[in-house]
A and B are shown apart, each in its own frame.
Chain A
Amino acid sequence: MNKIMTHFVVGFPTMEKSFAAVEAAIEGGASFIELQFPFSDPTADGVLIQDACAVALEQGFRVADGFDFVEKIREKYIVPVFVMSYAGLVFAYGVENFVKKAKSSGVSGLIVPDFPFDYDAGLYQACRESGVHAVAVVLPSIEESRLEQILSLDQRYIYVAIRAGITGQESQVSGEITAFLQKIRRRGKFVLAGFGISSPQQVAALATSCDACVVGSAIVKRLTESPDSLEELKSFVKNLSVAG
């Protein structure tokens, strides 16, 4: 039995519509909300999310809007919110300030893929001090010694990108992947599995090997193609969440 984390780009397709989409996902049974603060150089993302970020930025997204967005969700729902963004944005805000602001806005954890723990500009320390989870992102191809370092970081969550490359391409759930996820889980970590997950079948295949499946590009795709079909989004999430 695993849960669903849904991923949204804040401000895409508009501020209002992204908020409505988050609400639909929560009503559909999403257990975690991941919010991407758009940045012009989203290095780990595929075209869909890149374009969504570009749209949100064109409409004038500011980091302050992102934190307001989190507060609005937290005022209304009991749901953990994770913020995902990139090093350039976090660094410009000031790493410590960003973490403090995240904490005071009700953010549970931060995912900054290009701030790995050994090139983090102080992110992990700031997170420890503020009580915000710093979520490391790992690939199954990671070197054993490096994985050990990450596992010993005293952080509860680990995000596993279940394949190399960028977001938004369909992933096969192989036995190798599930074995890797289970290995991390056995070490007492809460495992978020993402990258290329869009179907109930995939979620079911991962049901016993991760704690939550992250669905990102599939949701952004829906919001790109039919930004107002919130009922459909809700049932899409529902179908995923019952599959786990």
Chain B
Amino acid sequence: MDYNVPNENGFFGEYGGRFVPPQLEDVMKEITEEYFKIKDNSDFLEELQDLYEHYVGRPSPLFHAKNLSKKYGAEIYLKREDLNHTGAHKINHCLGEALLAKKMGKKKLIAETGAGQHGVALATAAALVGLECDIYMGEVDIAKEHPNVIRMKILGATVVPVKSGLKTLKEAVDEAFIAYLQDPVNQFYAIGSVVGPHPFPLMVRDFQSVVGKEAKAQFTTMTGKALPDNIVACVGGGSNAMGLFTPFIKEKNVNIYGVEPAGRGFKTGDHACTLTYGTPGVIHGFKCYLLQDEEGEPSPVYSVASGLDYPGVGPEHSYLKDIGRINYDCINDKEAIDAFFELSRVEGIIPAIESAHAVAFALKLAKQRPGESILINLSGRGDKDIDFVIDNYGKDYGISR
């Protein structure tokens, strides 16, 4: 198996690439060249390392969730990305991208956001390094993720409401791309996941891989064992998953699970299980598994988790699925919300609904694999979700405002 991907053209097997109109060709080449120039540069790495430690609060802890372990029968470990500054893993790549943009002389960072986590992280990074910031967000998500919208505004970013289509993540990406095309010279499109044209899937993965590197070392220190038996992460675009998985891909004895959102069912429009039900296609400048109709139109997607409802997925995930290295499974809204409350009440940790998908799957896995270790990427915290959860699910769990 070839795990040394992507190739120099940005292909992970047949996936990835750079399918962009000529307006973006030059700037994508420029970003690629600049990224390769700095990625191993000691000044850049020192600067990033310093920010990770003193600004983000890295390394994030690895927590042995003993209550859950006892209750479900496997040894469950949580990589606490929820404890990062801004509350999720997104800050890891946003700082990297912001530093790169600044070095390239860009004036403004722009991006899409679903749950608002990437938007908040980017607005934070923009404030820190001194760049303007525009965040494109679907109106549906703006209503659902109100606290994050306010945070972005407080941080000085402009939140641009997206009114087209389903008014969620896919449309936000469309709008951000169009804005980017208007002025690729002064703007830097800091894509929010391991998606988009080359070099973004590679670059975001590299910045996020700090999660897996830390987790690997922490697990060994904590348990005396070389490797966990199983690792689990949720997959929307797939950035937190690639961050955790990357340092474990070559470790054959580690079972790797990516968890997709099954939403409210398996009919088109009710879920976003791209790897499970999609077919190869092209979206937003790259090739990947895609939920689409036979004409290539991206299908409507849905998940209770705004950060997971995207019809495409990272090209590397697409490749790793095809070569059989990663198992992809699905968790529906109900299971995710159950896990949201379970983790809150058993361990005192309120997870993001996105991350709750990974927890739900891990709890199922625990019952099937008693005694084994399961390491979950708890990619974000649930503060942003509490109003939504109470309003929509509170009564099922005996609580109200």
Q: Which residues of A contact B (CB under 8 A)?
A: 39-41, 43-44, 50, 54, 57, 62-63, 87-93, 113-116, 118-119, 121, 137-139, 141-143, 146, 161, 164-166
Q: Tell me if B251 is interfacial: C-beta within 8 Å of chain A.
A: no
A89 and B23 contact, Cβ closer than 8 Å, known pairs A164-B184, A165-B181: no
List of B residues within 8 angstroms of A89 by Cβ = 295-297
Please tell me if the beta carbons of A116 and B25 are within 8 angstroms of each other in the complex. yes
Please tell me if the beta carbons of A137 and B182 are within 8 angstroms of each other in the complex. no
List of A residues within 8 angstroms of B17 by Cβ = 119
A119 and B18 contact, Cβ closer than 8 Å, known pairs A40-B297, A41-B284, A161-B23: yes
Please tell me if the beta carbons of B22 and A91 are within 8 angstroms of each other in the complex. no
Tell me, rounded to whole Å, the shortest Cβ–Cβ distance linking A51 to chain B: 9
Cα distance A135–B19 in the bound complex, in angstroms: 15
List of A residues within 8 angstroms of B298 by Cβ = 40-41, 88
Cα distance A151–B17 in the bound complex, in angstroms: 23
Tell me, rounded to whole Å, the shortest Cβ–Cβ distance linking A16 to chain B: 21
Please tell me if the beta carbons of B287 and A91 are within 8 angstroms of each other in the complex. yes
List of B residues within 8 angstroms of A119 by Cβ = 9, 17-20
Tell me, rounded to whole Å, the shortest Cβ–Cβ distance linking B21 to chain A: 4
A93 and B22 contact, Cβ closer than 8 Å, known pairs A40-B165, A41-B174, A166-B182: no
For chains A and B in complex, what number of residue pairs have CB atoms within 8 angstroms? 97
Tell me, rounded to whole Å, the shortest Cβ–Cβ distance linking A216 to chain B: 14
Please tell me if the beta carbons of B26 and A143 are within 8 angstroms of each other in the complex. yes
A87 and B282 contact, Cβ closer than 8 Å, known pairs A92-B294, A92-B295, A139-B22: yes
Please tell me if the beta carbons of A88 and B182 are within 8 angstroms of each other in the complex. no
A62 and B22 contact, Cβ closer than 8 Å, known pairs A91-B282, A165-B181: no
Cα distance A41–B174 in the bound complex, in angstroms: 7
Of B164, B165, B295, the residue contacting A62 (CB under 8 A) is: B295
A39 and B21 contact, Cβ closer than 8 Å, known pairs A164-B184, A166-B181: no
The 9 closest A-B pairs by CB, nearest first: A92-B296, A113-B21, A44-B21, A88-B296, A88-B282, A87-B19, A87-B282, A91-B282, A89-B296
Please tell me if the beta carbons of A164 and B296 are within 8 angstroms of each other in the complex. no
Please tell me if the beta carbons of B18 and A142 are within 8 angstroms of each other in the complex. no
Tell me, rounded to whole Å, the shortest Cβ–Cβ distance linking A123 to chain B: 11
Of B23, B177, B285, the residue contacting A165 (CB under 8 A) is: B23
Interchain residue pairs with CB less than 8 A apart (10): A39-B296, A40-B174, A41-B283, A63-B295, A88-B298, A91-B281, A91-B282, A142-B22, A166-B23, A166-B182
Apart from A43-B174, A88-B298, A138-B22, 13 more pairs, CB < 8 Å: A39-B296, A41-B174, A41-B177, A43-B181, A89-B295, A92-B292, A118-B9, A119-B9, A119-B17, A161-B22, A165-B182, A166-B181, A166-B182
Cα distance A139–B181 in the bound complex, in angstroms: 13
List of A residues within 8 angstroms of B21 by Cβ = 43-44, 113-114, 137
Q: Tell me if B226 is interfacial: C-beta within 8 Å of chain A.
A: no
Tell me, rounded to whole Å, the shortest Cβ–Cβ distance linking B312 to chain A: 10
List of B residues within 8 angstroms of A87 by Cβ = 19, 282
Please tell me if the beta carbons of A142 and B165 are within 8 angstroms of each other in the complex. no
A44 and B23 contact, Cβ closer than 8 Å, known pairs A88-B281, A88-B283, A91-B296: yes
Question: Using a CB-CB cutoff of 8 Å, which residues 279-305 of chain B contact chain A?
Answer: 281-285, 287, 292, 294-298
Cα distance A90–B282 in the bound complex, in angstroms: 9
Q: Which chain B residue shows the least CB distance to A113?
A: B21
List of A residues within 8 angstroms of B287 by Cβ = 91, 121
